[in-house]
A and B are shown apart, each in its own frame.
Chain A
Amino acid sequence: MQLQYFLILAAALFCIGIYGLINSRNAVRVLMSVELMLNAVNLNLMAFSSYLDPQSVKGQVFTVFVIAIAAAEAAVGLAIVLAIYRNRDTVDMEQFNLLKW
């Protein structure tokens, strides 16, 4: 097992997250994609922490923070989605284009 494999896996996960972020029409799925991306970041942090800095595990601390922030973000995000849903009766991302030309 090498560091690169973890990084590649994390990058792949990040890409999938981006793909989901950009391509999903459902707002909840966009939030889920964001979670995926955050998880990819966490993977990176953990990998670096284990391979490059096994003594002072700063990466792991960061990961804990990221998980916490991710939870908060998900809460706020879902609240926003709910607020939009109440206004517009839909969670379709392509309906939220009020600012087009």
Chain B
Amino acid sequence: MASLFLHNIWLVPFYSLIGAALSVIWFPSITRRTGPRPAGYINAFMTLLTFVHAVLALPAVWGQLPYEVSFQWLDVAGLSLSIPVNISVVTVSAIALISGMNLLAQVFAFGYLEMDWGWARFFSLLAIFEAGMTALVLCDSLFFSYMILEILTLGTYLLVGFWFNQPLVVTGARDAFLTKRVGDLFLLMAVVALYPLAGTWDFSELAEWTKTAQVDPTVITLIALGLIAGPMGKCAQFPLHLWLDEAMEGPIPSTILRNSVVVATGAWVLVKLQPVLALSPVALSFATWIGSVTAVGGSLIALAQIDIKRTLSYLVSAYMGIVFIAVSTGFTKAALLLVLTHAVAIALLVMSIGGIIWNSITQDVTQLGGLWSRRPISGLAFIFGTLGLIAFPPFGSFWAIQELADGLQDTQPWLVGVLLLVNALTAFGLTRVFCLVFCGEAKQMSQRSPEVHWPMMLPMTVLLGFTLHVPLVLQASSLLPSWAEMSKDIALLFTWSSIFGCSLSAIVYLGKTIPKPVHFPSKVLQDLVAYDFYTPKLYRSSVVVTVDLISRLTSWFDKYFVDGIVNLFGLATIFGGQSLRYSTSGQSQFYALTILLGITMLGLFLCFPFLSHMALVVTASLLQQSVG
């Protein structure tokens, strides 16, 4: 029975696609009678089917070696492309995670979009996302992964731009699309360049190929950099990070999904590509640097945000940065572990603040406060989301970060330092949000802010429970690093860094000694961090200005030079016609002259051979006469 589900696991993406297709029929004439809700229920049901399918297939795949099924897609002129489907424990559990997350997000959306009329659109987009992600984890080919990533890019655009009547939403969606496009463009270059070298796009065959590959170091470095660029855009790494922040303009349920699993698609592809990246040390250190800078920068920026959603958005970049570090140093298992634990924890955090946004008057953390007594479940969810995200034993991310740090301590100890710093900063930042939102006196804006209704509470509590059980799940699937091999010093260090970050933050934001509102010691530093290191300004003054200038120049060139040449021909023809018409004088005598001249010319032309001959004869006779 279970193996039947396993063999048909490739059907999974189609469930959500069917759901998406079915919600299309909820067009206005139907929606007017039924309300928009049935579309959501259909999609949630399809997601449930996916989830159940994946969970039922899990026992069959447990302990099995991964195997591949292949579907022919294109066979022309010697180029044969088939879609390889990789079935393994990792992919099936990834599908379970994705569909489970999506199910929770959809149930959350039942509550969050209670008054919204865009249900069909929203849920079908979520379904397309789910289909894309499940297809991505199943698909074992770089080429099709690229295609799916593009579909996800489009999905992000549509989902962020869900409330398209607000200008910030429109710019946010646009920026998300363009930023990811930049990454995808480089990725496409690398994907195309890789094929002639490796002769395959299948991840498993690529991994085989890298073992014996003999390639020019420059070429493989360029390709690897291109391959990194795609995930950089997806995972919102510096310098392609701004979109994730702006994507917070979209609805919260999609944010839950995006921050937990959609950004992880980039990490997934990166993990799959690790053997290829490992061919180029330059690319590896590039990824390490990008990851470190993003991790530190992201967690720093998160400290100074006052928008409650944006306090979380940069942490996602930061944790994806850690995944980058893990992949570039070769700890793909730790990377996947971190993706799992991060997805669960950040989704819980987003759900918690999503409820707060839903029925509080403001999103500004400085104007919220004292919500602990009013909404304890959200508070608990936030606490355990925080603990699950930072390295705090025995919760989720501790084990992932621990495993990574364990491996790094001998080779690159400075990266352990980076991890410690990021961990402490994240702990500080999340505790800050908790203190500002849940502790202290209730401020004017948060006086009336009760706990939200059950469709949002239910997924939050379910996820809360799951977050608490993540270590047990890890243990059951024997993913935990063994306690005996673990470095206790590192574990202690991370635990202390978490405790230090949390308690320092609590002292700063709850203690009476520091005047409120809390400021950074230096105004310059605070502005630098609060304005995202001035990256928006930097982009506006560099990339945007340059593109604007170039487009103006080309527009000018096109308008005045290219069009000018064409118009010149037109004008010349008009001028020619206008001036030639004066030859039509209207006088019959002139016409007679023209005819006569024409005939004379024609006659001369026709007689030219005879005339020239005659001229010769005349000259000869003249010469003869003069001689004679």
Binding site for B on A (CB under 8 A): 18, 21-24, 30, 93-94, 96-101
Contact = CB atoms under 8 A, between A and B. Distances in A.
Contact of A96 (B582, B588, B592): B588
A99 B585 CA distance: 7
Interface of B: 581-582, 584-590, 592-593, 596
A98 B587 contact: no
Contact of A97 (B581, B585, B593): B585
B584 A30 contact: no
A51 to B, nearest CB: 21
A23 B581 CA distance: 22
B592 A100 contact: no
Nearest to B590: A22
Contacts of A23: 589
Contacts of B581: 101
Contacts of B586: 96-101
B596 to A, nearest CB: 6
B578 to A, nearest CB: 9
A30 to B, nearest CB: 7
A22 B589 contact: yes
Contact of B587 (A18, A21, A93, A101): A93
Nearest to A25: B589
B587 A97 contact: yes
B599 to A, nearest CB: 11
Contacts of B585: 97, 100
Nearest to B589: A22
29 contacts: A18-B596, A21-B589, A21-B592, A22-B589, A22-B590, A22-B592, A22-B593, A22-B596, A23-B589, A24-B589, A30-B589, A93-B587, A93-B588, A93-B589, A94-B587, A96-B586, A96-B587, A96-B588, A97-B585, A97-B587, A98-B586, A99-B584, A99-B586, A100-B584, A100-B585, A100-B586, A101-B581, A101-B582, A101-B584
A30 B591 CA distance: 14
A88 to B, nearest CB: 13
A97 B589 CA distance: 10
Contacts of A96: 586-588
Contacts of B587: 93-94, 96-97, 100
A99 B588 CA distance: 10
A92 to B, nearest CB: 11
Contacts of B582: 101
Nearest to A100: B586
A21 B588 CA distance: 10
Contacts of B584: 99-101
Contacts of A30: 589
Contacts of B592: 21-22
Given A100-B587, A101-B581, 10 more contacts: A22-B589, A22-B590, A22-B592, A94-B587, A96-B587, A97-B585, A97-B587, A99-B586, A100-B584, A100-B586
Nearest to B585: A100
B268 to A, nearest CB: 76
Nearest to B583: A101
